[in-house]
Amino acid sequence: MSTMSMPSQAIPKDDARPFVEYAFVKGHFAWGYFWFMFAIIGGFLYAGQFLQAYLLPGIEWLSPGRVRMIHTQGVAYGFIANCFLGALYWAVPRLTGQRVTHKYLGYFILYAWNALTLISVVGILFGEAQALEWGENPVWIDPVVLVGLACAAAQFTPALWKTKGKLHYVSIWYFSGALAWTGLVYFMGNFGPEYWAVGTGGAALTGLYIHDLVGLFVTPIGWGLMYYFVPILINKPIWSHKLSLLGFWGLAFFYPLQGIHHFLYSPIPMYAQYGAVVTTIAIEIVVTTVVINFFATLRKREAFMVNSLPVRWFYTGMILYFITCLQCSFQVTLTFQKIIHFTDWVVGHAHLVMFGVFGFWIMGMIEYLWPKVTKAGEWYSNHLSHWSYWLMGIGLIIMFSTLTIAGLVQGYLWRDLAVFEASISASVPFWWARYFSGLMILIGAFITAFNMYKTAEMGRAK
């Protein structure tokens, strides 16, 4: 079986409950987009600090460091988690032929998750942060987050497991794996370094956590959704089922081992660092096969890149994914690490992957689903959607490339023992470029927010 198309199971006729709960897709997308705006306004504010132009100075609870933490927390828990949940509410029932576990559980997750995010943000602003990257939400809220994650697993896993037959479509493995991983990752990452593993050992666990949150939560759900949406939108089965098998199991095998590459040349024992470097390079090879699979699928359907905005978002994201992975297999080597670690290069990389890949995929999903779930049928303005695509796309590329160069400049100046101030002065032009590219992204984001609002209004009027 080299091609395996998606299952389309019969839905029992005597059950009047809606099969896909539009309210949850819509609710999670709306909240997710709200957090997206919130988070990037935070990022933009913080970027001003680098230009000695922080817009709200001298206010304790809006201190730049705190705003930086809500930027990344807002992106991860507000934007990405919400939008992924929304997309799962659409994809899982259709893929599996099963309803999600329960409607009330759905309402509970929707409100509880966003309340949690809000409490975390307020907690961070009022000085309750935990000193763990991606885990800055206050330590007292971590157990509640775990309950939230367990609820999400309870909502989707039964449907995935009940899927008929023994051979399931690739998206189902990705979702199933991710629902197992996320809670485990969160538990180890937030409690390990805080209570059980001191200092250097804690850093080893933090490394695993920083990376696993991207690799075992965001990446598998993102790819699972791509395997679902792309074939449907371009009306063609995925090119090779075997390659998708390699992609998933490669990820499951190598990804969890890589985290310590965030702390290379630290006092963590070298064998653990080597293990991380080798598996990181291995995964880059594996993910390249995934990208190849998707581009082979696109063959003879290239016109969709031009005509269909969702497909264009998806494939732009995939091109950027390929760049991310190529970049990563270089930057993870000890040679590159000497120069680029601690610099803006890494920040460029983070924006490329979190926004350029997963953010763009989410934009594509919103583009495709929002008119459907609001019952408007079409966007208020396609024109505005295109503006948003170009502003965000160009903005991101400027941001990524300038930060990458800035990283090299900083790294070499540090190695050459220039006074620290020299590296600051040399970075300022690049930080201005980031500021303006950030502004482009922000404008693009506002345009889509307006468009979404108007589209929802059209839907209500119908």
Partner 1 sequence: MFENAKTAFLFGGIFMFVVAYLWEGYLPLSHLNEMKVETMEELTADVLPEFEELAEVYPKEFKEYYGEPTSEAMAEALILGKKVYTQEACWHCHSQFIRPVSNEATRYGPVSLAKEYSNEMNYPHLFGTRRVGPDLIRENGKHSNDWHVAHFYNPQMVVPVSVMPAYVWLYDETVDPPVPNKKGMAIITYVQWLGSWLNKDGNKLNNTGKAPLADEIETETDKKLAELQNGDSK
Of 74-82, 371-379, 414-422, 433-441, the window that binds partner 1 (rule: CB under 8 A) is 414-422
Taking residue 271's Cβ as centre, other Cβ atoms within 10 Å add up to 8
d(CA 423, CA 229): 45
- What region, left, alpha or beta, does residue 192 occupy, with left being phi > 0 and alpha being psi -120 to 50 degrees? alpha
Q: Please give the residues from 415 up to 454 whose contact with partner 1 meets the rule CB under 8 A.
A: 415-417, 420-421, 424-425
Taking residue 94's Cβ as centre, other Cβ atoms within 10 Å add up to 17
| Partner interacting with residue 441 (select from partner 1, ligand HEM, ligand HEC, none; CB below 5-8 Å by kind) | ligand HEM
**Least distance to partner 1, CB of residue 398, Å:** 20
| Partner interacting with residue 415 (select from ligand HEM, ligand HEC, partner 1, none; CB below 5-8 Å by kind) | partner 1
- Cβ proximity to partner 1: between 257 and 320 the closer is 257
| Partner interacting with residue 359 (select from partner 1, ligand HEM, ligand HEC, none; CB below 5-8 Å by kind) | ligand HEM
The answer to whether 174 and 223 have CB atoms below 8 angstroms apart is: yes
Size of the site for partner 1 (CB under 8 A): 99
**Least distance to ligand HEM, CB of residue 192, Å:** 20
**Least distance to ligand HEC, CB of residue 420, Å:** 5
The answer to whether 217 contacts partner 1 (rule: CB under 8 A) is no
Return all residues near 307 (Cβ < 8 A) that are at least 6 apart. none
308 to 233, 303, 385: CA distances (angstroms): 9, 8, 11
d(CA 264, CA 338): 9
d(CA 149, CA 85): 11
The answer to whether 420 contacts ligand HEC (rule: CB under 6 A) is yes
**Least distance to ligand HEC, CB of residue 299, Å:** 47
d(CA 308, CA 130): 43
| DSSP-derived secondary structure for 127-147 | T---SSTT--S-GGGHHHHHH
- Cβ proximity to ligand HEC: between 59 and 424 the closer is 424
Q: Please give the residues from 344 up to 403 whose contact with partner 1 meets the rule CB under 8 A.
A: 346-347
**Least distance to ligand HEC, CB of residue 64, Å:** 6
Q: How many CA atoms lie within 13 A of 345 on its CB side?
A: 20
What the block records as the tokens of 415 is: 């190695």
Q: What character string, x for contact with ligand HEM (CB under 6 A) and - otherwise, covers 72-111?
A: x--x------------------------------------
The answer to whether 342 contacts partner 1 (rule: CB under 8 A) is yes
Q: What character string, x for contact with ligand HEC (CB under 6 A) and - otherwise, covers 55-94?
A: ---------xx-----------------------------
Identity of residue 40: I
The answer to whether 234 and 297 have CB atoms below 8 angstroms apart is: yes
Q: What character string, x for contact with partner 1 (CB under 8 A) and - otherwise, covers 134-173?
A: --x--------------------x--xx-x--xxx-x-xx
Taking residue 74's Cβ as centre, other Cβ atoms within 10 Å add up to 26
The answer to whether 55 contacts partner 1 (rule: CB under 8 A) is no
Q: Please give the residues from 329 up to 368 whose contact with ligand HEM meets the rule CB under 6 A.
A: 346-347, 350-351, 354-355, 359
| Partner interacting with residue 47 (select from ligand HEC, ligand HEM, partner 1, none; CB below 5-8 Å by kind) | ligand HEM
d(CA 30, CA 452): 9
- Cβ proximity to partner 1: between 245 and 319 the closer is 245
d(CA 14, CA 8): 18
Q: Please give the residues from 403 up to 442 whose contact with ligand HEM meets the rule CB under 6 A.
A: 438, 441-442
- Cβ proximity to ligand HEM: between 57 and 377 the closer is 57
Identify the CA nearest to 79 among candidates 39, 137, 125, 110: 39
First to last CA, the chain: 45
**Least distance to ligand HEM, CB of residue 442, Å:** 5
Q: How many CA atoms lie within 13 A of 209 on its CB side?
A: 24
- Cβ proximity to partner 1: between 273 and 374 the closer is 273
193 to 183, 186, 196, 206, 207: CA distances (angstroms): 16, 12, 6, 7, 10
**Least distance to ligand HEM, CB of residue 320, Å:** 12
- Cβ proximity to ligand HEC: between 77 and 431 the closer is 431
Alpha helices in 192-257 (DSSP H): 199-212, 219-234, 241-254
**Least distance to ligand HEM, CB of residue 95, Å:** 25
Interface residues toward ligand HEM, by CB under 6 A: 40, 43-44, 46-47, 68, 71-72, 75, 346-347, 350-351, 354-355, 359, 438, 441-442
Interface residues toward ligand HEC, by CB under 6 A: 49, 64-65, 420, 424
